[in-house]
Amino acid sequence: MSSTAWLTVFVLAVFLGFEVISKVSSILHTPLMSGANAIHGVILVGAIIATGSTDDNLQLAIGLLAIVMATVNMVGGFAVTDRMLGMFAKPRRAPSSTETSSASSTGGETK
C-alpha cells in the first residue's frame, strides 16, 4: 500500500472515530472508555504476527511478553465493560417488555 493510501485510511478513521461517539450521554462515558480500551487490545494481532515471524530469542521473549500484555488488555477490557453494562441492565425494566415481568415488578413495588 502506498503512503497516500495509509494516510487516507488514517484520516477517514479519525473522522469516523469522532462521528460514532458524537452523541453519547454522560452516563455512558465510563463504559464507552472501557470499551474503546478493549478495542485497542487488538494490538494482540500485531504482537502475534511480530512474534510469529522472528527466530531471535530476545525478540521472541519481548514478543511473548507483548502477547500476554495485549491479551490482558483485550480479554479483561471486554469482560469489565460487559460487567459494567450488566449492572445498568439489571434493575432496568423496559417499558415494552413482556406482561409478566412488568406485572411482577409493579406487584413488588406495591407490597
Residues 21-40 that bind another protein (CB under 8 A): 21-40
Total number of residues shown for the chain: 111
> What is d(CA 45, CA 48) in angstroms, rounded to the nearest whole number?
5
Q: Which of 4, 51, 101, 102 binds another protein (CB under 8 A)?
A: 51
Residues that bind another protein (rule: CB under 8 A) add up to a total of 82
Sign of the dihedral through C-alpha 37, 43, 48, 54: negative
Least gap, CB of 61 to another protein (angstroms): 10
Least gap, CB of 96 to another protein (angstroms): 11
Identity at 67, one-letter amino acid code = I
Least gap, CB of 98 to another protein (angstroms): 17
The interface mask with another protein, positions 74-103, x = CB under 8 A, is xxxxxxxxxxxxxxxxxxx-----------
Number of C-beta neighbours around residue 73 at 10 A? 18
> What is d(CA 107, CA 93) in angstroms, rounded to the nearest whole number?
13
